[in-house]
Structure 1
Amino acid sequence: MPTPDFVVELREKVGHDLLYMGGVTALVIRDVAPGSPVWEVPEVLLVKRKDTEEWTPITGIIEPGHEPDDTARREVWEETGIEAQVEALLGVGEVGPVTYPNGDQALFLDTAIRLSQVGEEQPCVHDDENIDVGWFKISQLPPMKPRFRLVIADAVAQMKHPQGFRPRMGYHKRNL
């Protein structure tokens, strides 16, 4: 999905100045099948962004009137063509500041959420923001920013040990 209309309208008024916005990081995790060998590990759904050619979890901007969980499910559908359900809150924290190639600046209050796939659909590039999509074993992740590795690790830890997991507040540290 391109830049949301509300951001485009704000940019007409504030130019490239720093905007503070809500965002989500959606971690779709696929656990190993029961009875699998002990060396099998969960997988995470990643997209390869067109603008940076980096592999990332699915991310997006929360639009006015929308909740983070709805945004996470919508972004997963828009970017990969699969339906997902929310399983757990992983954390909330600031990400950025980010300066985009056109000079726009943003700072995000990001909500990281673990989801699981509903159904058996194969993910595909379902938008114009990405050039690839795929499942990756958490032990064989492509190069990515440390903050994404951290949220993937938290998603798996929460899935494996939900009673002992506490969502992070101040989830993302600057420069991660």
Structure 2
Amino acid sequence: MATGYIGRIRKRVGHMPLILNTAAGILLNDQHQVLLNLRTDSHNWSLPGGYMEFGETYAQTCVREYQEDSGVKVEIVRPLGLFDQGIFTYPNGDQVQTIDRLFLVRKVGGQLLSAETDETIRLDYFDFDDLPPLLNQQTEKMLAFAKENA
């Protein structure tokens, strides 16, 4: 989180808690399993997605971040909801509250990452009823919502 728009904000405000906009996608396989990524920062599982850059829309953020986190190019099928109670503390103590726009997405290209990156350790599909340890309660709420509405 040290580069880009968020990095520039952090240089100005230090470790002050921030409210940030994010976008994430629900990608389902043929077995109706959802793709999750194992994060390098927390070693918990989350939906591919991330922080908005200045000037982006939620949809643009979802598409860009999805490819960065997973290697998969997606397009937006439809919005699923807005979630605003996600609080996360990074290992360095930085705390954020995320306002997360969740989308149903479909694959249009690319392929799953085959090696670890600076943000993703691993990717896998999971049944909604058998999820791994998740990033936070907001991720749990988004997945519960998607289970019923995607």
TM-score > 0.5 by shorter chain: yes
Question: Does the C-alpha gap of structure 1 residues 98 and 137 become closer, same or farther in structure 2, counting only changes over 3 Å?
Answer: closer
Q: TM-score, normalised by structure 2?
A: 0.84
In terms of Rg, which structure is larger? 1
Mapped to 2, the partners of 1:95 and 1:59 lie a distance apart of 16
Name the structure 2 match of 1:48: 38
The answer to whether the Cα contact below 8 Å between 1:78 and 1:126 also exists between their aligned partners in 2 is no
Name the structure 1 match of 2:112: 123
The answer to whether the Cα contact below 8 Å between 1:20 and 1:106 also exists between their aligned partners in 2 is yes
Q: CA deviation at 1:4?
A: 4.1
Mapped to 2, the partners of 1:78 and 1:143 lie a distance apart of 22
Greater shift after overlay, 56-65 or 104-113?
104-113
Question: Does the C-alpha gap of structure 1 residues 98 and 153 become closer, same or farther in structure 2, counting only changes over 3 Å?
Answer: closer
Aligned alpha-carbon RMSD (Å): 2.1
What are structure 1's unaligned runs of at least 5 residues? Answer: 33-40, 160-176
The answer to whether the Cα contact below 8 Å between 1:29 and 1:155 also exists between their aligned partners in 2 is no
Mapped to 1, the partners of 2:80 and 2:49 lie a distance apart of 14
Mapped to 1, the partners of 2:11 and 2:138 lie a distance apart of 31
Name the structure 2 match of 1:70: 60
Does the alignment pair 1:158 with 2:149?
yes
The answer to whether the Cα contact below 8 Å between 2:70 and 2:120 also exists between their aligned partners in 1 is no
What are structure 2's unaligned runs of at least 5 residues? Answer: none
Q: Structure 1 vs Structure 2: percent identity of aligned residues?
A: 28
Q: Which residue type is aligned with residue 66 of structure 1?
A: E
Q: CA deviation at 1:146?
A: 4.4
Mapped to 2, the partners of 1:16 and 1:154 lie a distance apart of 32
Name the structure 2 match of 1:28: 27
Q: Hey, which bits of structure 1, 4+ residues long, moved more than 6 A?
A: none
Q: CA deviation at 1:126?
A: 6.5
The answer to whether the Cα contact below 8 Å between 2:82 and 2:100 also exists between their aligned partners in 1 is yes
Mapped to 1, the partners of 2:3 and 2:73 lie a distance apart of 21
Greater shift after overlay, 74-83 or 20-29?
20-29
* Secondary structure, counterpart of 2:104 in structure 1: strand
2:71 to 54, 73, 81: 81
